[in-house]
Structure 1
């Protein structure tokens, strides 16, 4: 009997767990190392369930279906002044929360080989394997290492040190509101739709997601949004993303840590600028948080026996709702490459070109979407190029 090969996955989020599950199916002994000391909760954020996102759930046995952990929509709806519906078209999407999907994947992988509080700090390799070093002093060796450690990836910094995030010119205010806490009018406009409002140099996207306990019932669910606002790079941005403790956030200012004056300003401007339904979601959010919208693109994703996947490789703006879908697609393609070619370096070399092409295409497409809403004011609700999707409107 052939001895199982070992794989180490750095990052225990969506990308890491998907990769770990698929590598285990390929016969690897897999350990996942997550730097946070507690299980992840995603801060309640919503995700759009594109086909790649839920492929693991649909194609592997479960005692529930995607419909049991998500909320469906029937339309894409645009709101104007006074909540007037200015555009509407049929659109079938399903929405869930990041936490809900994470819990499914973690339950499937189990916790015996899921290690919390282990922060990877270095990586090196020779012809036979890879060593990953941790701040605790431990070193783990494996035949394959996958860095799925997100937008602030240690793997990317060690392997592609010249790659730097590029600021888009705007931030995203994010939050969720219990459906029962908004007016009937607002709930009716958002509950079955991907709902947008586009105003001068800004837009907001809203949709329903499961409650924190997973409930899908009307009234128990949450209404999720992201509101994009232009903020000049430099002192203005630095001041805004400095949290209440005085620390400057590189990616996001977490719930409960945003400076109060910015919360007050954001809520006041929501009332002035947005349709009433959108403004109600923003103003009723107990603890909004702030995301710095960045572009990150690597030149390589394969380095001998080491792979970068998901946001560790390409971090794309949220407009196509494709972050989790791309992470999953990277993991599935990696597993397929290893199935076709057991030699790890050769498999990774064959896997890389298509992943680089997809990542660069996605970054270009979402950058154009952002430009049209935030800078050129040319967002057209009827244009399919502005729709969700990892692969674009023609695929």
Structure 2
């Protein structure tokens, strides 16, 4: 297919993956990211999956997926902090930040526009149009919505409102330097640890440092505590320290002091001592509400969805980045092989809807006990 004018809404790993691949094929690609400062520093660790290896190989950076922190075994705590089970199942966590920076380096600065929010997308028989929050407009042969679960591109593909469905629980999170890991939590080092209770569970593991550091002492500890929150209480839970409600999550520093104090008190009361210690030691906990969404189609006309804009997989799957990488590679392949953009997107939608449905169903099964 001849060179296309491709515009991508959303500059996280999914959007960067598509941009890096499509630029290699000679297309005119530009990303529009609504954040003013970029997304570096927003991620922790992620599990290397087959699709991610394939993506990095395709862009000449396969080594990135091999630099990580190895958890040599999985342990399951009892209530008193004893190890009830242990399994020798090594798993490597690679750095989200290092992956982001690697892919960002594949896109020139003039192809990655910060602080430019897209408010809507429209389309006609020959192409699509981006409508920006500042009143500007731009034409494209293809628009890719890689703008996550709050996607503004999703409605033009699905044909109408397409809200996410709240799953009934949230993930409280913490991430801090390894040297701040409390002494009571020393046995958490180099292990993937779990504690399960009715409608709730906690897990934690080491991840690379913000620059991809894997040397002991330079890594970070990442913990997650899944807890039920009734739908009626979700808005209050996601209201920040300045009284502003947020639709999906609160970032570090946004959680109200009273809510953070209640979290620490609950941790001391409910969690085994090692997990209670790591939660209490987090100065700025943050929170992510858990949602489900499955798009009926992933493309229409000259507009395509990618990653969480199309299928929101629960984090238990550890497959969100891999799913986005698989989407990007499939889209590239169909654009290279099909006779037209619309033909390519129809094939892409058919292939990746099946993959997305399987992953989201898997996530619902894993999270069913928490609902």
TM superposition score category, shorter chain reference: over 0.9
Partner of 2:309: 312
Between the aligned partners of 1:93 and 1:141, the Cα distance in structure 2 is: 45
Partner of 2:163: 164
SS of the aligned residue for 2:214 comes to: coil
Partner of 1:35: 34
* Residue pair 1:71, 1:209 contacting (<8 A) in 2 also: yes
Between the aligned partners of 2:321 and 2:64, the Cα distance in structure 1 is: 18
Which digits, 9 at most, give the CA deviation of each residue in 1:126-159, with x for residues without a partner? 2222111111222222211111011110001343
Partner of 2:50: 51
Partner of 2:332: 335
Partner of 2:88: 90
Shift of the alpha carbon at 1:200? 2.3
**CA RMSD, aligned part only?**
1.9
Partner of 2:22: 23
Partner of 2:263: 266
Partner of 1:385: none
Structure 1 position 346 matched with structure 2 position 343: yes
Comparing 12-21 with 202-211, which one deviates more in the overlay?
202-211
Equivalences, count: 370
Shift of the alpha carbon at 1:249? 1.1
* Residue pair 1:148, 1:308 contacting (<8 A) in 2 also: yes
Structure 1 position 11 matched with structure 2 position 6: no
Comparing 97-106 with 309-318, which one deviates more in the overlay?
97-106
Comparing 106-115 with 158-167, which one deviates more in the overlay?
158-167
Structure 1 position 367 matched with structure 2 position 360: no
Q: So what's the TM-score if we normalise by structure 1?
A: 0.89
Which digits, 9 at most, give the CA deviation of each residue in 1:35-66, with x for residues without a partner? 11112124343322222234332344349543
SS of the aligned residue for 2:166 comes to: strand
* Residue pair 1:58, 1:65 contacting (<8 A) in 2 also: no
Shift of the alpha carbon at 1:280? 1.5
Comparing 161-170 with 39-48, which one deviates more in the overlay?
39-48
Between the aligned partners of 1:185 and 1:243, the Cα distance in structure 2 is: 31
Partner of 2:217: 219
Which digits, 9 at most, give the CA deviation of each residue in 1:259-302, with x for residues without a partner? 11111111111111111221111111110101111111111111
Between the aligned partners of 2:230 and 2:72, the Cα distance in structure 1 is: 37
Partner of 1:381: none
Between the aligned partners of 1:207 and 1:214, the Cα distance in structure 2 is: 15
Comparing 157-166 with 354-363, which one deviates more in the overlay?
157-166
Between the aligned partners of 1:309 and 1:62, the Cα distance in structure 2 is: 21
* Residue pair 1:45, 1:175 contacting (<8 A) in 2 also: no
Between the aligned partners of 2:186 and 2:137, the Cα distance in structure 1 is: 51
Between the aligned partners of 1:87 and 1:58, the Cα distance in structure 2 is: 37
Between the aligned partners of 2:89 and 2:214, the Cα distance in structure 1 is: 20
Q: Structure 2 stretches of 5 or more lacking a match? A: none
